[in-house]
Structure 1
Amino acid sequence: MNGVQDISWMDLATGYLLLLIPILVFRYYQTGMIRSTLIAVLRMSIQLYLVGLYLQYIFDLNSHWINIGWVLIMIVIASLTAISRSGLSWKLFLLPILAAMLLSVFAIDMYFLGVVLKLDYLFDARYFIPITGMLIGNCMSNIIIALNTFYKSLDRAQAQYRFALANGAARGEALRPFIAEALRKSLNPTIATTSVVGLISLPGMMTGQILGGSDPAVAIKYQTMIMITILVSSLITTVLSIAVSNSFVFDDMDMPAKKILH
C-alpha cells in the first residue's frame, strides 16, 4: 500500500473554513457557544501541534520512565477535567478519581500490551502512549456522566435513599439503584458505539492504520481489542470512582456528611 496522503499547511487552513458552519448556526440561534467553540478549536490546534513535536522526541528516547511520566500527566489532567465538568468537590473527588483511573487503565494496559500483543517491552512509546491515551479519554467521558448522574440523583432522591436505610438496607444496597442508573447513562453511549463499529462508522485508530498503510485485517484486530479495552476500562474506572469516593462522602451513619457539589 502507498503511504498516507499528506495535508499541506495551506490545505489545513482551508479545512478550518468548515468552522463557519457551526459559527453561523450558533449565531443564528444565539446559543452563546461561538467563543467557547473557537477557544476549544484553538486549544486543540496548539495542543496537537505541541504533541507532534514532543511525541517524536519521546518516541526517539523511548524511556519507560518518561513514557510512564507522560501517561501520569495525562491521567492527572483527565481527572481534573472530569471533576471540573462534573461540578463536584475537588477535595472529595480528586484522589478517588486519580486512584480509580490509575488502577483500571494500567491494569487493562498491561493485559492488552503484555498478554494480547505480547510486547517484549511493555512501555514501548509507540504502543503504550497512544493506546493509554485512548483509554484515558474514554474513561474521562464516562466518569463525567457517571458522577453527574450518581451524585446529583442521590442529592435529589435522598428520601428514597433514607427510606431504604430505614428498612434495613445496607449502604451498598440502598445505593445500588443510583449506581445502576449511573452505569446505564455513562456506558450506554460506549455500548451503542461498539455495536455499530464497522456498520456505520470506522473508528479513528482503524482508519489511521489503514491510511498509514497497514493491512485492513491487522487494523480490524487492533480496533476490536481497543473497543473491548475501552468498554472494560471505562466500567472499572466508573465503579471504582464511585466506590472510593463514597468512603470520603458518607459518615458512620451512612449519610452524606460533606458537601458533594460545588
Structure 2
Amino acid sequence: MGSKDLSMVSLALTLVLLLIPLLFNYFLGLGIGKKSLIAVLRMCVQLFLIGYFLGYIFDLNNSWLNFLWLFVMIIVSTISIVNSCSLKFKVFLWPILISVALPVILMCLYFNRFIVRLDNIFDAKYLIAIGGMILGNMLSGNIVGLNHFFNNVRKMEKKYLAVLALGADRKEALLPHVRESILAAVNPTIASTATIGLVSLPGMMTGQILGGASPVVAVKYQMAIMIAIFITRILSIYIALYLTQQTAFDAYDVLRKEIFKDK
C-alpha cells in the first residue's frame, strides 16, 4: 500500500502555516518576508515541474536519459557550490565539477550494482533517487570545506609563507588547512549519522515507510545510503581541495589574489 495522496486543500493548509514566520518577520523586523515567499514559490513550482518530468523519465526508464539527468543534477549542484563560495566562477567551475561528478557517479554505480544488486544499474528509480540524496547532502559540505580552506589560507597567509620559507613544500604547508577544511565539511554528517533513529528519522527511511516498505527494509536502505553519503562527501571535498590548489597557487606557491570574487 502506497502513501496517502495529499489534496490541493491539504497543500493549501500547509501554506497557511507560512503566516507564522511572516508574523515573526513583521513584529521583529527580520527583513525575510519577501525572500521567504519567493523561496517557497520557487520550491513549489520547481517540485511540481520536476514531479511531472520525473514521472515521464521513470515510465520511459531509458538508461542514457537517466544518466543524462543525473549529470544535469551534478552540473546544477556544481554551479550552486561555486556560486556559494568566495571563488571566481570561471576559474573553479571545472575542478569542482570533476570533484562532484567523479565520486557521485562511481558511488551511484557501485551502490546499484553491489549493494542493491540491480540488473540495470541505470534504473531511473534508483539512479536518480540515490544520486539526488548523495548530491543534496554533499553540496553543503563542499561549500563549507572550500570556503574554510581558502578563507583560512588567505587570512593566515603570513604564517603559510613563513612555513614555506622554513623549507616546507606547498603540500606540507597546506596540510593543516586541508585537515581543518575536511573536518569542517564532514563533521555535520558525522553528528547527524550518530543521532539517526534516536533524534530523527531521515528522508529516505520516512519515504520508504510511507510508501509501504517494511521498517526493517527502510532501515537497511538508510544505513547503506548514510555510509554512501559520508564516503562521497569526504572524497568530494578532498578532490575539490586538491584540484583547486593547482589553479589557486602560482609557480612560487603563493596564493593568487585574483581567484577571489570582488567584494
Calculate the TM-score normalised by the size of structure 2: 0.96
1:179, 1:57 → 2: CA distance? 43
**Residue 214 (structure 1) aligned with residue 213 (structure 2):** yes
Aligned residue type for 1:19: L
Q: Work out whether 1:127 is the aligned partner of 2:126.
A: yes
AA aligned to 1:181 is E
Please name the residue that 1:33 is paired with: 32
How far, CA to CA, are the matches of 1:6 and 1:257 in structure 2?
54
Pair 1:54 & 2:53 matched: yes
- What is the CA–CA distance in structure 2 between the aligned matches of 1:13 and 1:117, rounded to whole Å? 37
Instruction: Kindly indicate whether residue 97 of structure 2 is the aligned counterpart of residue 77 of structure 1.
Output: no
Check 1:13–1:197 CA distance in 2 against 1; reply closer, same or farther (3 A cut). same
Q: Deviations over 1:100-153 (max 9, x none)?
A: 111010111121111111111000000000110111111111111111111111
**C-alpha deviation, 1:29, in angstroms:** 2.6
Report the equivalent of 1:108.
107
- Asked whether the 8 Å contact 1:83–1:94 carries over to 2, the reply is yes
Instruction: Structure 2 unaligned segments of length 5 or more: list them.
Output: none
SS of 1:123's equivalent in the other structure is coil
Which residue is 1:96 aligned to? 95
**Partners of 2:142 and 2:185 within 8 A in 1:** yes
After TM superposition, give the deviation of residue 3 of structure 1 in Å: 2.9
**Residues 1:251 and 2:250 aligned together:** yes
Cα deviation, 1:197-237, whole Å, max 9, x if unaligned, reads 00010001100100110011110000001111111111111
Q: Distance in 1 between matches of 2:57 and 2:83?
A: 29
Percent identity, please.
42
Where does residue 164 of structure 1 map in the other structure? 163
1:257 Cα deviation after fit: 2.7
- Gap runs ≥5 in structure 1: none
Deviation at 1:250, TM superposition (A): 0.9
Aligned to 1:225: 224
**Does structure 2 retain, via aligned residues, the 8 Å contact 1:145–1:185?**
yes
Distance in 2 separating the partners of 1:5 and 1:60: 21
What per-residue deviation string (whole Å, max 9, x for no partner) do you get for residues 153-175 of structure 1? Answer: 11111011111111111111111
Deviations 1:10-68 (A, max 9, x none): 11111111111222223333222222211111111011101110101001111111111
The amino acid across from 2:224 in the alignment is: M
CA distance in 2, matches of 1:130, 1:243: 28
Aligned length, in residue pairs:
261
Q: For the Cα contact (< 8 Å) 2:209–2:218, is it kept in 1?
A: yes
Structure 1 equivalent of residue 189 of structure 2: 190
| TM-score where L is the length of structure 1 | 0.97
Q: Distance between the aligned counterparts of 1:241 and 1:195, measured in 2? A: 26
| TM superposition outliers: structure 1 runs of 4+ over 4 Å | none
Amino acid in structure 2 at the alignment position of 1:192: A
Q: What displacement does 1:240 show? A: 0.5
Structure 1 CA distance for aligned equivalents of residues 238 and 173 of structure 2: 16
Is the Cα contact below 8 Å between 2:149 and 2:178 reproduced in 1? yes
Q: Do the aligned residues in 2 keep the contact of 1:151 with 1:260 (CA within 8 Å)?
A: no
CA contact (8 A) 1:250 1:258 kept: no
Larger CA deviation: 66-75 vs 24-33: 24-33
Q: Give 1:258 deviation, angstroms.
A: 4.6
